[in-house]
Amino acid sequence: MLDSDNTRESEQSAGETPSCCTSLQHAKRANSKPETNNAVPIVPSHESALAGVFEISKVLTAPSRLEVTLAKVVDLLRSFVQMRCGIISLLDGDGQLDITVGAGWSESCDERCRMYLPRKAIDQIVTTDTPLVAENIAVHSAFSAADTDVLGASDAIRVSFIGVPIRVDANVVGTLTIDRVLDNGSRSWLDYNLRLLPVIANLVGQTVKLRRSFACDREQPMAEKERLQKQFCELKRPARERKKVYVKGMIGDSPALRGLLEKVAVVAEAKITVLLRGESGTGKELIAKAIHGLSPRAKRPFIKLNCAALPETVLESELFGHEKGAFTSAFNSRKGRFELADKGTLFLDEIGEISASFQAKLLRVLQEQEFERVGGNQTIKVDVRVIAATNKNLEEAVARNEFRADLYYRISVVPLLVPALRERRSDIPLLAAEFLKNFNDENGRTLTFDPSAIDVLMNCDFPGNIRELENCVHRTAIMAAGPSIGRNDFSCSQGQCFAAALWKSRSGESALQPGPIVPVPVNPAAPPAAAASSAAAAVPPAITGQRPLAPAGAAHLNSSRIIDREGVIAAMERCGWVQAKAARLLGLTPRQIGYVLRKYGIEIKRL
Q: Whole-prediction pTM value?
A: 0.46
Cβ atoms within 10 Å, residue 285: 17
pLDDT higher than 70, residue 31: no
User: Is the CB of residue 466 less than 8 Å from the CB of residue 438?
Assistant: no
Helix/strand/coil (H/E/C) assignment for every residue in 203-247: HHHHHHHHHHHHHHHHHHHHHHHHHHHHHHHHHHCCHHHHCCCCC
Pick 184 or 58 by higher pLDDT: 58
Q: How large is the average pLDDT for residues 205-224?
A: 72
Give the C-alpha separation, 141 to 137, whole Å: 8
User: Is the CB of residue 394 less than 8 Å from the CB of residue 412?
Assistant: yes
User: Is the CB of residue 382 less than 8 Å from the CB of residue 375?
Assistant: no
Query: pLDDT, tens digit, for every residue of 376-391?
Result: 888 889 999 999 999 9
Give the C-alpha separation, 561 to 530, whole Å: 7
User: Is the CB of residue 214 less than 8 Å from the CB of residue 69?
Assistant: no
Distances in Å between the Cα of 157 and the Cα atoms of 33, 115, 191, 423, 473 are: 6, 19, 21, 51, 43
Q: What is the DSSP letter of 508?
A: T
pLDDT higher than 90, residue 24: no
Give the C-alpha separation, 184 to 254, whole Å: 59
**One-letter amino acid for residue 201 of the chain:** A
Which of these, 4, 77, 71, lies nearest to 40 by C-alpha position?
A: 77
Give the C-alpha separation, 569 to 580, whole Å: 14
- Which domains are present in the chain? 4-214 (3.30.450.40), 255-419 (3.40.50.300), 423-525 (1.10.8.60), 550-607 (1.10.10.60)
pLDDT higher than 70, residue 462: yes
Query: pLDDT, tens digit, for every residue of 220-254?
Result: 555 555 666 665 565 555 544 445 667 777 888 88
pLDDT higher than 90, residue 287: yes
pLDDT higher than 80, residue 164: yes
pLDDT higher than 50, residue 510: no
Q: How large is the average pLDDT for residues 198-213?
A: 88
Pick 534 or 374 by higher pLDDT: 374
- pLDDT score at 217: 60
Which of these, 124, 66, 131, 50, lies nearest to 100 by C-alpha position?
A: 66
Give the C-alpha separation, 142 to 246, whole Å: 45
Predicted confidence band at 345 (pLDDT cuts at 50, 70, 90)?
A: very high
Give the C-alpha separation, 266 to 454, whole Å: 34
pLDDT higher than 70, residue 562: no
**One-letter amino acid for residue 519 of the chain:** P
SS3 11: coil
- pLDDT score at 176: 92
Q: How large is the average pLDDT for residues 208-215?
A: 81
Task: Give the dihedral of Cα atoms 572, 576, 579, 583; nearest 10 deg.
Answer: -60
- pLDDT score at 243: 52
Give the C-alpha separation, 520 to 502, whole Å: 9
pLDDT higher than 50, residue 167: yes
Query: pLDDT, tens digit, for every residue of 538-551?
Result: 333 333 333 333 33
Q: How large is the average pLDDT for residues 442-448?
A: 89
User: Is the CB of residue 190 less than 8 Å from the CB of residue 133?
Assistant: yes
370-372 and 274-277 as β-strands: parallel, antiparallel, unpaired?
Answer: unpaired
pLDDT higher than 50, residue 193: yes
Q: What is the DSSP letter of 76?
A: H
Cα end-to-end distance, the chain, whole Å: 42
- pLDDT score at 347: 94
- pLDDT score at 591: 81
Give the C-alpha separation, 245 to 264, whole Å: 8
- pLDDT score at 39: 54
User: Is the CB of residue 562 less than 8 Å from the CB of residue 551?
Assistant: yes
Task: Give the dihedral of Cα atoms 24, 29, 32, 33; nearest 10 deg.
Answer: -20
Which of these, 438, 453, 419, 431, lies nearest to 252 by C-alpha position?
A: 431
User: Is the CB of residue 423 less than 8 Å from the CB of residue 525?
Assistant: yes
Pick 387 or 563 by higher pLDDT: 387
- pLDDT score at 577: 83
Q: What percent of the chain has pLDDT over 70?
A: 74
Give the C-alpha separation, 564 to 560, whole Å: 11
Which of these, 375, 372, 366, lies nearest to 346 by C-alpha position?
A: 366
Give the C-alpha separation, 21 to 10, whole Å: 15
Query: pLDDT, tens digit, for every residue of 407-433?
Result: 999 998 999 999 999 899 899 999 999
- pLDDT score at 100: 85
- pLDDT score at 105: 67
Q: How large is the average pLDDT for residues 565-584?
A: 82
Ranking 145-159, 169-183, 210-224 by mean pLDDT, the lowest is 210-224
Pick 586 or 300 by higher pLDDT: 300
Handedness of CA 99, 100, 104, 109 (dihedral sign): negative
Chain CA centroid to CA 323, Å: 54
Q: How large is the average pLDDT for residues 279-296?
A: 91
Query: pLDDT, tens digit, for every residue of 109-152?
Result: 666 677 778 888 888 898 888 999 988 888 888 888 888 888 88
Q: How large is the average pLDDT for residues 57-85?
A: 86
- pLDDT score at 388: 94
Handedness of CA 224, 576, 539, 596 (dihedral sign): positive
Per DSSP, what are the bridge partners of residue 371?
380
Cβ atoms within 10 Å, residue 411: 24
Q: How large is the average pLDDT for residues 60-82?
A: 86
pLDDT higher than 60, residue 194: yes
Q: Which helix (H) or strand (E) holds 91?
A: strand 85-91
Predicted confidence band at 518 (pLDDT cuts at 50, 70, 90)?
A: very low
Strand locations in 249-298 (E):
274-277
Q: How large is the average pLDDT for residues 182-202?
A: 84
Cβ atoms within 10 Å, residue 110: 20
- pLDDT score at 529: 40
